[in-house]
Amino acid sequence: MNRWRRFALMSFVFVVAVIGAACGGSGSSGSSFSKIDTDATVRDLESFIPSGLKQNKVYDVSELPGAIAAYMVYFTPAGSEPIQYELRMYPDHASAIDDGISYADEVTGEDALLRSVDVRWEEGTKDRRGGGAFRGQLTPLYGDYAVIGNVIVLCEGRSSEQALERCEALLLAAGIGG
């Protein structure tokens, strides 16, 4: 009987593994979206125009190392309310990674820094705060970011997963990636 149980357990594990692999693994939506895409194309704001985004602000990047431009924009995915994004442009992918990632990490996610006195680049700090501030507590607007070539896209979302889905929606609507 012990042999039978071991065989049954091994068979079960094998079947689950095969089904999981066929379905793209656990948690996979079948998407090929990658948070960091080494695409060599150099993009500017015009590259995102096909998405129908609306530019709201142009930020002064004189104190954002390596950056050549930054914008606050809105994009409305089908069946959704407008979503806020911040696009940070660098001369190339290496600059976005080397100069920009640490600045994006600083202002995104659950542990985002949201006060001007705490961040290294103060420009737009108030724009990175979400709703729901309660008793002096600030909440982050941007749940995560994506890097596509020379552009870092900060994406609104309550979680990293939601933010990255919204990053992907913008990029696909612009005809970038995917």
What's the confidence (pLDDT) of residue 85?
A: 98
Mean pLDDT per 10-residue section of the chain, whose length is 178 residues: 44 35 39 86 97 97 98 95 98 98 97 96 96 71 98 97 97 89
What's the confidence (pLDDT) of residue 128?
A: 97
CA torsion sign for 124, 39, 98, 27 is positive
* Residue written as token pair 């930054």: 70
What's the confidence (pLDDT) of residue 38?
A: 93
User: Which has the closest alpha carbon to 103: 75, 123, 73?
Assistant: 123
Q: What are phi and psi of 123, to 5 degrees?
A: -55, 125
Residue 52: DSSP 8-state: T
- Which element (helix H / strand E) includes 55? strand 54-58
Helices (H), 23-153: 93-95, 101-106
User: Which has the closest alpha carbon to 172: 29, 24, 20, 64?
Assistant: 29
- pTM of structure: 0.80
What's the confidence (pLDDT) of residue 33?
A: 81
User: Which has the closest alpha carbon to 48: 75, 79, 66, 80?
Assistant: 75
What's the confidence (pLDDT) of residue 138?
A: 85
